Amino acid sequence: MSERPAFDTLILNGTVIDPAAGRNGRFDIGVTDGRIAAIEPDLSAAPAKQRINAAGLMVLPGMIDTHAHVYQHVTGRFGLNPDMVGVRSGVTTVIDQGGPSCMTIGGFRNFIVEPSATRVLCYISSYLVGGLEGHLYPDLYGPNGVNVEHTVRAARLNLDIVKGIKAHAEIGGQSRWGVEVIKLGKQISRELKLPLYIHLGQLWPTADSAPIPDPDELIRELMPIIEAGDILAHPFTRHPGGFVSETGAVHPLLLEAVHQGGLHVDVGHGSHFSFDAARRVLDAGIVPFTLGADMHGYNVQVPNSNEETDRDSNPFFGVAPFNLTIAMTELLHLGVPLEQVVAMVTSNPAKLLGMEDQLGTLQPGREADISVLKMETGRFKLSDNSGAEVISEQLLRPAFCLRAGRRFDADSFFVPDAIAA
């Protein structure tokens, strides 16, 4: 009777980049029973059922997308397939931002979280309707659409998947009800002792009956409400009410809040990425803590959708193809060091989730969540949602990932085709 192989899977010859563990170099990884069994400079002589040669590839802790929209079908065209955004794009964990609410969290667990190969978590919506194509129906998102008691109760029953609260601070909402909804979201956040994740940048149109609000006034009203540990999204948006003020400079209150107030910043790429705004924010000394892709059915092309209908009904139509690794590539092009970008999708989001003991680093005994990427060199055209284009000499692409030891190739239709310049 033959002995059982020492490992189920060996990933050999890869360059491991693991900021939390201080690893950046060639290591082999052995996986057994869905868990990391060993990380050593050389495991090539060890027996294994499956051997993967990762020479020339980057081996990372399983990537975490901090801004996803994967409540498929329930949130209309907003919700994408969680595994297409997740494991089949090289991402092992996704955080749905505001899809489920206190009324729909049960469906989210049963129809999204449990069947998915990807680990799916969420920031529960502060609104009763959750993420029901909210940019089309802003009147659903006022203070009358928030129930603090019910949201707190639903979140407490689902704390294994609920890791924060999602709310919107943007001038279309401000023109209707000021910052009352943010105050209610903060009340939910405090009662649950979970962070509040706040959308910045215009999303809804200004109310017809209201004067056009001052975007900078929104920031001034917002600052006294939020607290250390909360998250501001979309720092690189070109839309009003974001980090870049009407003067073209980064709002001084936001600078102070991030540098001294303990606030976190999440890229939330999506339809809110501008190279110009990104340079201004980075030059001001604000480096995002995490990097969420913010893909949804209105800013990526979903197969079998009707392009003509999309063009008519889609306010984000024309956004360049992107995914999490494209967002990482753009930060590299802007001068953010590779190891810092890797931390934004591994160890930093693990801290944000309070799950550093489970996610964000490669350690023996942990679940084998591993992302493997390829760094291509050449000339690659990148563009933002203003239409501005740049040429990058590097391009990150997902190759495959292991989720709890199970391999998934990066064959998602959301991984952009070649974009050589």
Q: Are 234 and 272 in contact (CB under 8 A)?
A: yes
What is the bridge-based pairing of β-strands 119-125 and 162-168? parallel
Three-state SS at 272: coil
Q: Which residues of 358-378 are buried (b: 16+ CB within 10 A; e: fewer)?
A: ebbbbeeebbbbbbbbbbeee
* Residue 166 annotated in ligand binding: yes
Query: Which amino acid appears at position 249 of this protein?
Result: A
Residues 6 or more apart whose CB falls under 8 angstroms from that of 296 comprise: 69, 77, 78, 79, 80, 270
How far, in Å, CA of 29 to CA of 27, rounded? 7
Q: Is 65 flagged in the annotation as binding?
A: no
CA 240, 241, 242, 248 torsion: positive or negative? positive
Distance (Å, whole) CA 236 – CA 269? 8
Is 310 labeled as ligand-binding? no
Helix (H/G/I), strand (E/B), else coil: 115: coil
Residue 386 main-chain phi, psi, to 5 deg:
-95, -10
Query: Is there a binding annotation on residue 272?
Result: no
- Please enumerate, by residue number, every residue annotated as part of a binding site for Zn(2+): 67, 69, 166, 199, 234, 294
- Please enumerate, by residue number, every residue annotated as part of a binding site: 67, 69, 166, 199, 234, 294
